[in-house]
C-alpha cells in the first residue's frame, strides 16, 4: 500500500514509486539546468521539472515530457513556477 504523498506511475514501460522526500533528497547536490518555462524549487534551488524527475528516477531526461513531469511533481505537493 502506498503512503501519501507517494505516487506510483509508469513511464516508457517502467514502473516507479516516488515520494516528495525522495525527490528532495535526490536533488541535494545536483547543479540545476537552466529553467526555460516550468521550474520547481527544491532545497533552495530552482530546477526544470524534467531534470527533477530524471534525477529522482535515475532515467534520462529525454524520457520525460514536460507535461508528465509537471503533473507528477504537483501530485507530490511541489509548487510549479512558470517563467
Instruction: Quote the pLDDT of residue 66.
Output: 95
Q: Please tell me the predicted confidence (pLDDT) of residue 2.
A: 52
For residue 35, is it within any domain?
A: yes
pTM: 0.90
Instruction: Report the pLDDT averaged over residues 18-43.
Output: 96
Whole-angstrom distance, CA of residue 13 vs CA of residue 30 = 26
Q: Is it the case that residue 21 has pLDDT exceeding 60? A: yes
Domain membership flag for residue 2: no
In a domain, 30, yes or no: yes
Please answer whether residues 46 and 35 qualify as being in contact, where contact means their C-beta atoms are separated by less than 8 angstroms: yes
Is 18 inside a domain boundary?
yes
Instruction: Classify residue 1: in a domain, yes or no.
Output: no
Q: How much is the average pLDDT of 51-77?
A: 95
Checking phi first, is residue 43 left (phi over 0); if not, alpha (psi -120 to 50) or beta?
A: left
User: Residue 29's domain spans which residues?
Assistant: 7-82
H helix or E strand, kind and range, residue 66: helix 66-75
Q: Is position 65 within any domain?
A: yes
Q: How many domains, in total, are found in the chain?
A: 1
Identify the helix (H) or strand (E) that includes residue 80. strand 80-82
Amino acid at each position: 500500500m502506498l503512503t501519501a504523498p507517494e505516487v506510483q506511475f509508469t513511464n516508457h514501460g517502467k514502473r516507479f514509486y516516488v515520494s516528495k522526500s525522495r525527490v528532495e533528497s535526490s536533488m541535494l547536490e545536483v547543479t540545476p539546468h537552466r529553467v526555460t518555462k516550468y521550474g520547481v524549487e527544491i532545497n533552495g534551488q530552482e530546477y526544470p521539472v524534467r531534470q527533477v524527475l530524471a534525477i529522482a528516477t535515475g532515467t534520462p531526461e529525454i524520457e520525460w515530457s514536460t507535461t508528465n513531469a509537471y503533473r507528477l511533481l504537483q501530485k507530490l505537493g511541489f509548487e510549479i513556477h512558470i517563467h
